Amino acid sequence: MAAALPNGNLIVPVIKNADQLNLVGLTKQVNHLADAARNSKLKPDDTQELLLH
């Protein structure tokens, strides 16, 4: 999942330890990160910024 920034770059929330989560755990993490992104509450540790050229 990624969100576009006004400058054209993408911000990508990171689901930590995704390999250890089941479907319910992944769903909860995605919902949490999506809610944080919508409310501008993502922490730097929650994201990676990808530069598109």
- Tell me if the pTM is above 0.75: no
The predicted pLDDT at position 50 comes to 57
Range of the domain at 23: 3-50
Residue 52 has pLDDT above 70, yes or no: no
| Residue appearing with tokens 């390999």 | 19
The predicted pLDDT at position 47 comes to 78
In the chain, the number of structural domains is: 1
pLDDT tens for 12-49 read 788 888 899 999 999 999 888 878 877 778 888 887 65
Non-local CB neighbours of 32 within 8 Å, separated by 6+ positions: none
The predicted pLDDT at position 22 comes to 97
- In which band, very low, low, confident or very high, does the pLDDT at 2 lie, cut at 50, 70 and 90? confident
